Amino acid sequence: EVSFSNIDSDYGLDTASNLVGIAFDEREGGYLAGVIAAGIAASGTYTRVGIISGLPVPAVLRFTTAFTNAVVDFCPACEDSEIIVCHTFSNADDCGTLAAQTLLAMGVDVIFGAGGLTGSQGIVYAAAPTGTVVTSSTGTDFTKTEDPVYVIGVDSDEWVSTFGSGSVAGSEMVVTSARKMVDVGVQRVIGEFLVGIGGGRSLQMNVANGGMGYAECHEACAAFDSTEVEAVYAAMGTLD
């Protein structure tokens, strides 16, 4: 019998006997990213954060809701977070870039891109230095007219993936990413299959078991004090 595992899936009680779903607690990753964003906004020009959301599916909603909750908790003086929902993960009609332009016009200190390629395109534009020509995934060229702001990625470490490990203009503005540790989940499932622990279940990945977290700050470590987010991360790791 061939065994399977599917990422970002929770099949509940109906999981087939040869299948394991790997689900992630996006609330934890979103909250950690929000703590960092709050620290930046608290001393920023506008005391406000922006969010570029992809399709409002449950995983995205968990990320963005937890993110905004953290901003409220850790920056009481901040304005309400601004969120623009793009009903696409593929940056259709350049929604991610246009959303970034709108948020920058509103006045935000940091932008969280939570929507696949849509969010990634948005934060690439937002982080780019003034005057940079940013070519979107649709092939459209946008000349950056606004000042760059700090940005936060999602799922993977976007400083590495989207910003090419520092090779893309604006990489110094990437403060972190809300990370799903997919490698940890996959390794765990494979190891369990190899020792005879079968399917019929879904694995719940979170901070406590090494499945959720936040990316390092790379070039932007001076942008915020990591004390608060480290304390929250430690507390999450000890929750039952």
DSSP structure class, residue 138: T
Write down the pLDDT at residue 1.
75
**From the centroid of its chain, how far is CA 232?**
17
Rg, Å, the chain Cα set: 18
pLDDT in tens, 175-186: 999 999 999 999
pLDDT in tens, 192-229: 888 888 788 899 999 999 999 999 999 999 999 999 99
CA-wise closest residue to 151 among 193, 210, 103: 103
Q: Which amino acid is at 168?
A: V
CA angle (80 as vertex; 177, 25 as ends), nearest 5: 35
Q: Which residue has the tokens 């999450």?
A: 236
CA-wise closest residue to 64 among 51, 55, 76, 82: 51
Write down the pLDDT at residue 239.
62
| Whole-number Å distance between alpha carbons of 151 and 100 | 10
pLDDT in tens, 160-169: 999 999 999 9
Paired sense of beta strands 133-135 and 141-143, if any: antiparallel
Mention every residue, 6+ apart, whose C-beta is less than 8 A from residue 189: 5, 20, 22, 203
* Predicted confidence pLDDT, tens digits, the chain (240 residues): 788 999 999 988 888 888 999 999 999 999 999 999 999 999 999 999 999 999 999 999 999 999 999 999 999 999 999 999 999 999 999 999 999 999 999 999 999 999 999 999 999 999 999 999 999 999 999 999 999 999 999 999 999 999 999 999 999 999 999 999 999 999 999 998 888 887 888 999 999 999 999 999 999 999 999 999 999 999 999 865
Both structure tokens of 227 = 């004390």
**From the centroid of its chain, how far is CA 43?**
22
Paired sense of beta strands 4-7 and 19-24, if any: parallel
List C-alpha distances in Å: 187 to 28, 135, 181, 183, 194: 21, 36, 10, 6, 11
Write down the pLDDT at residue 3.
87
